[in-house]
């Protein structure tokens, strides 16, 4: 379903259509074995929970996302296990020693299960041959169900740093806006249900932002509630300084963990916390519920921007393999940093995260207990829209390009964001050196290549974003 919007003209109210990212996992019972793993491919990435990590499915009994909606149909697997008696179809009249003790009705039921399993295998093979891998086939099927919102933005015209690694610098806003304030300013409200997947595309049909929603698992609310409880406990245990009670994005506590490289550093490093505080942050990040939330953000990025996700993944791998002291927030994860916005009321002022990779993405997951009809909406100022943002749902935006904030609320909102600093990508591109060291020791040929890469970096970066069919070859 396509919806054409000339920003900032009206956004059409979208109908509820209960689909979410993990429908592709739910659908894949037709594509995959009822138990086991996807056959390996050279471009498949293993993920401990397999949330569209493009390799295998999760067998964890503690992950409620995987437990109910991974690439394996768990209940069907349990039923098949009872009738595993031979692993080949039976022909009429053929007797199997394993089925001899069954009644006629039980034998017919067991035979039907075996035949059904064989048909699923054949259909899986057909889809894999057509799409490359079952995960990709399922991802494409899911993306095809997303609602598309066309905008008049042209990403190529957006400003960025001279090197194109970082985003654009703008003055941060100093005022928090309520939903009524935003409507008075002429902003248009997109009444998102928090579940239906959306894709926002620019004039060249590049998918520059997505609303993947939330997993289908009935336990997802419990997962998010556990994360909130752990965040509240961590906030109490963390020894906050006076400066940490607010931050440049708003008057709330925000603590980050992961890998960064910014001004003043001579090489990438882990975000600093005192020893006691570091243990608090590590425990929060390692919790199974937190890992589920982080994993969903990774999954969504792989689905909607596979080239971008691969670039993030390979860069983070290069960083951690070169410097073993660097700690990832999630094994096989793709984002280098995670920020926990503890609140008590997470109301971000209008800002741009210019230090993030210029064309990269930032995953935002809303948490807490608040009324999403009264506040907490995410505001995309360059688009002139305000998106309803229910707790437990996820939105992904290019935070280094789009000015964004969220509508003020009475109380209760928390959030988790995932992102990677642009400096990390520059460090790896320079052969794990700073710009100064690279230029000092580079050969003339290497300097020429650096200048050529810099000239085309912006366009090359934008090409990592997926395009819908029919996109202009040159774009705007």
The reported pLDDT for the residue numbered 175 is: 87
Q: How confident is the model at residue 236 (pLDDT cuts 50, 70, 90)?
A: very high
Give the pLDDT mean for 428-444.
90
Residues 193 and 134 in one domain: no
Residues 271 and 321 in one domain: yes
The reported pLDDT for the residue numbered 118 is: 82
Residues 168 and 198 in one domain: yes
Flag whether 471 is in a domain. no
Q: Domain containing 245: what range?
A: 160-429
Q: How confident is the model at residue 2 (pLDDT cuts 50, 70, 90)?
A: low
Task: Compare 10 and 172 and report the one with higher pLDDT.
Answer: 172
Residues 192 and 86 in one domain: no
Q: How confident is the model at residue 124 (pLDDT cuts 50, 70, 90)?
A: low
Quick one: how far is CA 161 from the chain centroid?
25
The reported pLDDT for the residue numbered 317 is: 96
Flag whether 328 is in a domain. yes
Residues 182 and 120 in one domain: no
Residues 332 and 400 in one domain: yes
The reported pLDDT for the residue numbered 84 is: 38
Residue 318's Cβ-side half-sphere holds a number of Cα atoms within 13 Å equal to: 16
Residues 61 and 114 in one domain: yes
The reported pLDDT for the residue numbered 9 is: 35
What is the distance between the alpha carbons of residues 400 and 458, in angstroms, rounded to a whole number?
13
Prediction pTM value: 0.72
32 pLDDT above the threshold of 90: no
Residues 219 and 294 in one domain: yes
Closest CA to 467 of 133, 135, 155: 155
Task: Compare 169 and 37 and report the one with higher pLDDT.
Answer: 169
Give the pLDDT mean for 212-219.
90
Flag whether 446 is in a domain. no
Min mean pLDDT across 78-87, 276-285, 423-432, 440-449 is at 78-87
Residues 97 and 181 in one domain: no
CATH value at residue 285: 3.60.130.30
Cβ atoms of residues 420 and 336 within 8 Å: yes
Q: CB within 8 A of 139, min separation 6: which ones?
A: 24, 52, 302, 303, 306
Flag whether 453 is in a domain. no
**Domain C-terminal end among 143, 173, 205:** 143
Quick one: how far is CA 347 from the chain centroid?
22
Give the pLDDT mean for 372-396.
95
Task: Compare 420 and 18 and report the one with higher pLDDT.
Answer: 420
Residue 348, CA distances (Å) to 229, 254, 407, 415 in order? 22, 11, 8, 11
Flag whether 447 is in a domain. no
Residues 252 and 170 in one domain: yes
Q: State how many domains the chain has.
A: 2
Q: CB within 8 A of 208, min separation 6: which ones?
A: 153, 155, 200, 201, 202, 398, 401, 465
Edge-first strand order for the sheet with 404-406 is 188-190, 385-387, 378-380, 404-406
Task: Compare 76 and 357 and report the one with higher pLDDT.
Answer: 357
The reported pLDDT for the residue numbered 137 is: 60
23 pLDDT above the threshold of 90: no
Residues 167 and 259 in one domain: yes
Flag whether 298 is in a domain. yes
Q: CB within 8 A of 432, min separation 6: which ones?
A: 318, 322, 323
What is the distance between the alpha carbons of residues 186 and 326, in angstroms, rounded to a whole number?
46
267 pLDDT above the threshold of 80: yes
Residues 283 and 360 in one domain: yes
The reported pLDDT for the residue numbered 120 is: 78
How many CB atoms sit inside 10 A of residue 148's CB?
17
Tokens of 379: 């505001």
66 pLDDT above the threshold of 60: no
**Domain C-terminal end among 429, 445, 460:** 429
Q: How confident is the model at residue 213 (pLDDT cuts 50, 70, 90)?
A: very high
97 pLDDT above the threshold of 60: no
Min mean pLDDT across 278-282, 289-293, 367-371, 409-413 is at 409-413
What is the DSSP code (8-state) at residue 247? B
Q: How confident is the model at residue 119 (pLDDT cuts 50, 70, 90)?
A: confident
Flag whether 469 is in a domain. no
Closest CA to 424 of 320, 348, 309: 320
Min mean pLDDT across 97-101, 218-222, 270-274 is at 97-101
Ramachandran region of residue 376, left (φ > 0), alpha (ψ -120 to 50) or beta? left
Residue 165's Cβ-side half-sphere holds a number of Cα atoms within 13 Å equal to: 19
Give the pLDDT mean for 178-189.
94
Min mean pLDDT across 48-52, 251-255, 280-284 is at 48-52
Q: How confident is the model at residue 135 (pLDDT cuts 50, 70, 90)?
A: low
The reported pLDDT for the residue numbered 134 is: 53
Model confidence pLDDT, tens digit, residues 317-374: 999 999 999 999 999 899 999 999 998 878 888 999 999 999 999 999 999 989 999 9
Give the pLDDT mean for 430-447.
89
What is the distance between the alpha carbons of residues 458 and 10, in angstroms, rounded to a whole number?
30
Q: Average pLDDT over the chain, rounded to whole?
A: 78
Flag whether 304 is in a domain. yes
Q: How confident is the model at residue 128 (pLDDT cuts 50, 70, 90)?
A: low
264 pLDDT above the threshold of 90: no
Edge-first strand order for the sheet with 253-260 is 2-4, 147-150, 198-201, 207-213, 394-397, 362-368, 413-419, 337-343, 253-260, 269-270
């Amino acid at each position: 379903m396509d919806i054409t919007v000339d920003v900032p003209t009206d956004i059409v109210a979208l109908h509820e259509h209960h689909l979410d990212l993990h429908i592709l996992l739910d659908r894949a019972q037709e594509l995959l074995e009822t138990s086991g793993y996807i056959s390996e491919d050279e471009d498949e990435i293993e993920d401990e929970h397999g949330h569209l990590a493009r390799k295998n499915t999760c067998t964890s009994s503690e992950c409620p996302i995987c437990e109910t909606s991974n690439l394996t149909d768990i209940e069907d697997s349990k039923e098949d296990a009872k009738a595993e008696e031979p692993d080949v179809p039976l022909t009429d009249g053929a007797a199997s020693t394993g089925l001899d003790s069954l009644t006629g009705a039980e034998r017919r039921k067991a035979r039907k299960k075996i035949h059904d399993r064989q048909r699923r295998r054949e259909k899986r093979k057909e889809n894999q041959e057509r799409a490359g891998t079952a995960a990709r086939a399922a991802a494409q099927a899911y993306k095809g169900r997303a609602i598309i919102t066309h905008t008049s933005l042209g990403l190529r015209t957006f400003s960025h740093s001279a090197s194109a690694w970082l985003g654009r610098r703008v003055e941060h806003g100093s005022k928090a806006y309520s939903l009524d304030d935003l409507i008075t300013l002429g902003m248009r409200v997109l009444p998102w249900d928090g579940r239906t997947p959306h894709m926002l595309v620019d004039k060249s049909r590049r998918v520059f932002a997505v609303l993947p929603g939330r997993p289908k698992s009935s336990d997802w609310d419990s997962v998010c509630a556990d994360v909130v409880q752990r965040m509240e406990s961590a906030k109490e245990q963390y020894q906050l300084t006076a400066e940490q009670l607010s931050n440049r994005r708003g008057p709330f506590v925000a603590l980050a963990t992961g890998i960064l490289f910014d001004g003043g550093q001579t090489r990438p490093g882990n975000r600093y916390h005192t020893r006691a505080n570091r243990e608090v942050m590590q425990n929060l990040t390692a919790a199974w519920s937190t890992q589920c939330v982080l994993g969903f953000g990774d999954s969504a990025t792989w689905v909607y921007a596979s080239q971008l996700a691969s670039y993030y993944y390979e860069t983070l791998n290069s960083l951690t393999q070169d410097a073993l002291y660097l700690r990832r927030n999630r094994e096989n994860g793709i984002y280098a940093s995670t920020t926990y916005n503890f609140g008590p009321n997470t109301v971000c002022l209008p800002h741009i995260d210019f230090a993030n990779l210029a064309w990269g993405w930032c995953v935002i997951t809303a948490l807490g207990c608040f009324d999403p009809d009264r506040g907490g909406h995410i505001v995309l100022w360059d688009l002139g829209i305000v998106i309803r943002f229910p707790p437990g749902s996820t939105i992904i935006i290019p935070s280094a390009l789009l000015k964004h904030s969220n509508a003020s609320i009475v109380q209760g909102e928390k959030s988790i964001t995932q992102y990677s600093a642009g400096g990390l990508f520059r460090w790896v591109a320079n052969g794990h050196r700073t710009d100064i060291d690279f230029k000092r020791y580079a050969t003339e040929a290497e300097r020429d290549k650096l200048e050529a890469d810099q000239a085309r970096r912006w366009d090359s970066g934008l090409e990592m974003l997926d395009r819908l069919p029919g996109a202009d070859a040159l774009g705007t």
